[in-house]
Structure 1
Amino acid sequence: MKKVVYLSMFSLLVFSAVSAQDKKDDKQNVFEKGGDLGKMVLAEQKFYALDYKGALNIYTDVLSSKPNDANVIFHIAECQYELKQMKEARENAEKAKSIDPKANVYNSLLLGKIYQQEGMQDEALVEFNAFKAANAGSNKKIAESDVDKYILQVTTAKEMIAKPVEVKVENMGDVINSEFEDKAPMVSADGRTLIFTSQRPGKSSAVNPDDGMYYEDIYISRWDTIKKMWGDAELIPGTLNTEGQDAATSISPDGKQIFIFKNDIETESRGGDVYVSRLSSSGKWGAPKAMGKPINTTYAELGACVSPDGQTLYYVSERQGGLGNADIWMAKRKSRSEWDKPVNLGSTVNTDEDEGGIFLAPDGKTLFFTSKGHNSMGGYDMFKTVMENGKWSTPVNLGYPINTIYNDYCFSLSIDAATGFFTSNRKGGLGARDVYKVDLSNYSVLEKEMKKKDPNTGPVMAILKGDIFDANAGAGMEAEVVIYDEAGAKVGSTTSSEGSGEYFLTVMAGKTYQVKIEVKGYKPIDEKVEIRAAKEGATSVVKHYLLYKK
């Protein structure tokens, strides 16, 4: 993404006037010669160059000679807002309004945005509407301000807070979280492995010069089946983490692959690419390998996840041809190591805003994602869309209190659909962003209407896994496993791992399936497997197969 600096006509006029004053001393700074006007121009330049601290310092200097200048106070509030200094920003924006409500037409917009983030929805609506009224003759200014989007967010927030969904949201505490940023929790299909990304001091003690934070590393927590709790998070074993930026974006349903975002300016991944790491038989993760073309491009690729059958890759990219900055794309598998040409998920899912934080549910058809578009409560919200009859359904907001007026990202789900995990910067956390879990026992997040669950029904999904062996050699072997329902329709397929013979599939529970395995030179397997739904926890059926030569 390229950033362009825009200067107002005011800045350009002042710059021209100052530059034309005294040309005798070429070494003297034109902004210094312009006094406060020159300083205001310089501050504005710094603001649009994203140097908010530098701009704030200059505006504060100007304020010392003009302590009651409402316009200067507004600009100070504007810088403080960008620096997340909400208390100070609110005080100054309100002060500017009390001195002169018309000093800067954008003060109402800024005050509305501050009130929105402070949870003062009614006050925010008043300010947003005041901004629209003051600019009623300029449709362009209203459109460029996004004020209608903010009004929609506030309206959505008021409606959802008034009708909360029946869930229990809980911070995962210091077992997972730290005083630093902790984000993007992803759970394996068996519910026993949780991976996430953290900016705490880890593999690298170096600091990213762009934000002054530690470089990100990937952490892992394992479910203790005896204590019924998550173990303390630790750096993931193996060669996954480096001295640079390493961020996990998903773990495959079988827990054998982790998809990673890497951004290393000194390697081919500069700008951001998707990598994949595979779990070795020793239990350590191998060095990440780039996905390569056509997945990675010269633009930023920000993360990926794979379908339960391993045949479809979903990923986030800023490549050309999208609808917004970052869009969700998909690609079908061509071979073991190749993917077909990527396809954009289209305008039903993608907007002119950012989409990301993707997770494909174990049912293989429900895609959870994060977006600033659609009907957000404010900032980023989490949504779901379902593949129905070859089309993606209209995204649905997961509701309050899963989503809030703050930024909520990266939803993932256990196979029994009883527990969700996500990231949020909502108030009350341990760090800038924390990992949360949500009890979905009474909320059918996979159902179309997401209504209250029937307590008499078990989990909707189950795991079918096992090993396939060469009966003569006694060794694991590679073979395609295809699953059919009782009507004869194909419902899933996978290929067992070469060497180990392991296979892994997710299927609907409470049904009987026909399992077929065919390998050239071997007698075929064709048998029925009943998958009974457990009343509690994930259903897991283990079936091993021996293949005999013909």
Structure 2
Amino acid sequence: MRTILIFSFVLVSGITWSQSLTSKNKKAVKMYEEARVLMGQRDFDKAYDKLQLAIERDPGFAEAYLRLATIYRIQFNDSMQYWCYQQVVDKYHDAPRFAGSWYSLGEHAFKQGYYEDALKYLNKYMELTSETGRYASNAKLMIDNSHFAIEYKTNDFQFNPRPLPAIINQFKQQYFPVLTADQKTLLFVRRQGDEDILKCEKDSIGNWSSPVSISDTINSKYNEGTCSISADGRMLVFTSCMGRQGFGSCDLYVSYKTGDTWSVPENMGGTINSSAWDSQPSLSADGRTLYFVSNRRGGYGLRDIYVSHKDDEGNWLKPENIGPDINTPFDDISPFIHPNGQRLYFASDGRLGFGGFDIYFSDKDKEEGWSAPVNFGYPINTHDDEVSMYISSDGTKGFYSHEEKDGLSIHSTLYEIDIPPKLQIAHKSSYVYGNVVEADTDKPLKASVSLIDLNTNEASQVVHSDSVTGNYLIVLTEGSDYGLFAEKQGYLYKSENFSLDKKLLNPVIVNFKLERVKVGSSVVLNNIFFAFDSYSLTPQSKTELNKVLSFLNANKSIKIEIAGYTDNLGSEKYNMVLSRNRAKAVYDYLVEGGVPKAKLSFKGYGASNFLNSNDSEEGRIKNRRIEFKISK
């Protein structure tokens, strides 16, 4: 809930100076009046001495304690400030004119996480005050939050929070951790003078490297703050404030990585950025949806979460406010969209919680929008500010920053936690990764790599392998059958298929070697499926068949032979007939798709040209296949 700063002891105490003072001691009143004048002149040291003398002459002088509390507040001496308020309520327990002291004590107790004390003080304030404005409203919010905190603090989930290694937490302030999908690269923001984005790498035995600047191209003499990195680590969206030419006080910028080099950052433009404050980005796993925070006009609160999507041409669409299911009249910040694209984590000080900013999550429903946000719970959320959360693809680990305040000083630490089963995502994710190279030379290729959900024949994601390394990475969601295709102009495309089991979320490795288009080249169509002991094509084959159609349309001068093969089970005659019929089924589909018959031929080869041993079912599956060969 929102922390209220009180700048006037007059407002805090709830008194007006037309009322008579509580002291009748003339010397005490004289010292008090002199202190009041000195405070108006901002001579707080002399005013302090006068107030101490006034209290010595009259220990029951309430107004002197309140003036003294104001000086302690200016000095950031919390303990003495609230000692002064305690003196007032002890001496004038039921006086409505001093109800504000009860409020101040209650607010202080709430901010320290002493919820039972906060209830005692704030309920007394509500009993005494006739005020119905901002302070009464804030008191009611703190009362509601205290009840919530007392109830839910008993639901102590076993998060096992632990600071990240000291080599990472070596600065006074480090916050907003984000990781790549493989959890091998950690980025975070360090505030040390200006803000910079730092990078750590995890080695093969799990140790983190010392933080270094992500890139001199990205970090500058200005502020580079909160950032989000795509799942494959090759697209970075970050915040930059005060210095770069932009649209507002803070803008969002984007940079792309090729090999080990980051491109010169580009402002994301007036479609995304506004004349206001735009910050705290979170990219979806495929880099096509962007969540961020803005205080632009037209929102529901002070800072709201917005979302933008890329169109088919790769242009960002006008951002939309994510709506009142998430945004409140206060501050809603630090969004993180899980790699599964279905759960949003964010921080808010406008909801029932433990105080300050708490972390919440909400699940996306295609028909009903966002679910009611759920407080992430204690001990992750506390009376201090928790302002960021990253959850691993499999939903079992979390990373966040925790702030602690001491007067003007703020210290923040990065933590790792275990996510309790009750709070884990319903649809977990993993990833497929590998590289694409030229078959003859092993030269890395920049190729299109597309992931197809074979249950729907729809493209889940399309990425490009790195032109320098050939590497790619795509996030997967559990419980689906996938086809994976690598394509590049002038080369035969390659395909693979696999399933992501709900119980086994290990990353999948698929490497591609692409052959140039030439006579004699062949490719296995790994996503052609037939019913058992049949030559009827299954619906899941449609994607691969359409890939062949596209390939032939792009290479109109070539002719191909469609070849069918079986394993060694069954008679030679039976296998020859089955392989021929399956090859013809593919031939017929392509002809129906508009390919001239003159460009096509088909042949069954039966149980021959084995790719693997027939001693295992896995090997026999590989041998039962359809290939096409370039014959001219």
Range class of TM-score, shorter chain: 0.7 to 0.9
Structure 1 equivalent of residue 514 of structure 2: 546
Write out aligned runs for 1:106-505 (5 A).
Answer: 106-135=100-129, 137-143=130-136, 145-178=137-170, 180-200=172-192, 214-226=193-205, 228-265=206-243, 267-268=245-246, 271-281=249-259, 283-334=260-311, 338-390=315-367, 391-426=369-404, 432-440=411-419, 442-447=420-425, 460-468=428-436, 476-479=445-448, 481-488=449-456, 490=458, 492-497=460-465, 499-500=467-468, 502-505=471-474
- The answer for unaligned runs of 5 or more in structure 1 is 15-33, 44-53, 201-213, 449-458
Structure 1 equivalent of residue 51 of structure 2: 63
Q: 1:84 to 1:393 in 2, by over 3 A?
A: farther
Q: Does the 8 Å contact 2:248/2:273 carry over to 1?
A: no
Are residues 1:514 and 2:483 paired?
A: yes
User: Deviation of residue 168 (structure 1)?
Assistant: 0.3
User: Deviation of residue 270 (structure 1)?
Assistant: 5.4
Amino acid at match of 2:51: L
Amino acid at match of 2:497: K
Q: Does the 8 Å contact 2:483/2:497 carry over to 1?
A: yes
Q: 1:521 to 1:221 in 2, by over 3 A?
A: closer
Q: Does the 8 Å contact 2:38/2:44 carry over to 1?
A: no
User: Deviation of residue 418 (structure 1)?
Assistant: 2.3
Aligned partners of 1:546, 1:56: CA distance in 2, in Å? 78
Deviations 1:114-168 (A, max 9, x none): 1122232111101111111112x4333555x411111122112111211111220
Q: Does the 8 Å contact 1:492/1:505 carry over to 2?
A: no
Deviations 1:328-370 (A, max 9, x none): 1001113666310111100000001111112111111111111
Structure 1 equivalent of residue 580 of structure 2: none
Q: 1:497 to 1:417 in 2, by over 3 A?
A: same
Q: Does the 8 Å contact 2:72/2:80 carry over to 1?
A: yes
User: Deviation of residue 483 (structure 1)?
Assistant: 3.1
* Secondary structure of the corresponding residue to residue 105 of structure 1: helix
Q: Does the 8 Å contact 2:492/2:514 carry over to 1?
A: no
* Secondary structure of the corresponding residue to residue 89 of structure 2: helix
Aligned partners of 1:363, 1:83: CA distance in 2, in Å? 48
TM-score, with structure 1 as normaliser: 0.78
Percent of aligned pairs with the same residue? 23
Q: Which moved more, 1:392-401 or 1:514-523?
A: 514-523
Q: Does the 8 Å contact 2:404/2:410 carry over to 1?
A: no
Structure 2 equivalent of residue 97 of structure 1: 89
Which structure exhibits the higher relative contact order, with contacts defined as CA atoms closer than 8 Å and separated by 6 or more residues?
1
Aligned partners of 1:55, 1:37: CA distance in 2, in Å? 10
Amino acid at match of 1:260: F
User: Deviation of residue 426 (structure 1)?
Assistant: 4.7
Q: 1:386 to 1:85 in 2, by over 3 A?
A: farther
Q: 1:264 to 1:100 in 2, by over 3 A?
A: same
Q: Which moved more, 1:155-164 or 1:460-469?
A: 460-469
Q: Which moved more, 1:344-353 or 1:520-529?
A: 520-529
Amino acid at match of 1:332: H
* Secondary structure of the corresponding residue to residue 488 of structure 1: coil
Aligned partners of 2:105, 2:141: CA distance in 1, in Å? 15
Q: Does the 8 Å contact 1:165/1:443 carry over to 2?
A: no
Deviations 1:164-213 (A, max 9, x none): 1122011224222235111111111111111111223xxxxxxxxxxxxx
User: Deviation of residue 36 (structure 1)?
Assistant: 4.8
Amino acid at match of 2:321: N
Q: 1:58 to 1:504 in 2, by over 3 A?
A: farther
Q: Does the 8 Å contact 1:478/1:496 carry over to 2?
A: yes
User: Deviation of residue 396 (structure 1)?
Assistant: 0.8
Aligned partners of 2:48, 2:261: CA distance in 1, in Å? 53
Are residues 1:531 and 2:495 paired?
A: no
User: Deviation of residue 233 (structure 1)?
Assistant: 2.4
* Secondary structure of the corresponding residue to residue 303 of structure 1: strand
Aligned partners of 1:275, 1:460: CA distance in 2, in Å? 30
Q: 1:243 to 1:308 in 2, by over 3 A?
A: same
User: Deviation of residue 462 (structure 1)?
Assistant: 1.1
Q: Does the 8 Å contact 2:400/2:414 carry over to 1?
A: yes
- CA-based RMSD of the aligned residues comes to 3.6
* Secondary structure of the corresponding residue to residue 261 of structure 1: strand
For the pair shown, the structure with the greater C-alpha radius of gyration is 2
Q: Which moved more, 1:155-164 or 1:465-474?
A: 465-474
Aligned partners of 1:224, 1:511: CA distance in 2, in Å? 31
Deviations 1:368-388 (A, max 9, x none): 111112222111011111111
Q: Which moved more, 1:186-195 or 1:410-419?
A: 410-419
Q: 1:298 to 1:157 in 2, by over 3 A?
A: same
Q: 1:84 to 1:332 in 2, by over 3 A?
A: farther
Q: Does the 8 Å contact 1:178/1:431 carry over to 2?
A: no
Aligned partners of 1:432, 1:181: CA distance in 2, in Å? 5
Aligned partners of 1:393, 1:532: CA distance in 2, in Å? 27
Aligned partners of 2:86, 2:485: CA distance in 1, in Å? 70
Amino acid at match of 2:464: S
User: Deviation of residue 81 (structure 1)?
Assistant: 5.5
- The answer for unaligned runs of 5 or more in structure 2 is 1-5, 18-32, 518-554, 556-632
Write out aligned runs for 1:34-49 (5 A).
Answer: 36-38=35-37, 42=40
Aligned partners of 1:466, 1:56: CA distance in 2, in Å? 67
Q: 1:510 to 1:268 in 2, by over 3 A?
A: closer
Q: Does the 8 Å contact 1:423/1:433 carry over to 2?
A: yes
User: Deviation of residue 92 (structure 1)?
Assistant: 2.7
User: Deviation of residue 475 (structure 1)?
Assistant: 5.8
Aligned partners of 1:124, 1:290: CA distance in 2, in Å? 46
Deviations 1:10-46 (A, max 9, x none): 99x99xxxxxxxxxxxxxxxxxxx9655555x48xxx
Q: Does the 8 Å contact 1:513/1:528 carry over to 2?
A: yes
- Matched pairs, number: 486
Amino acid at match of 1:60: Y
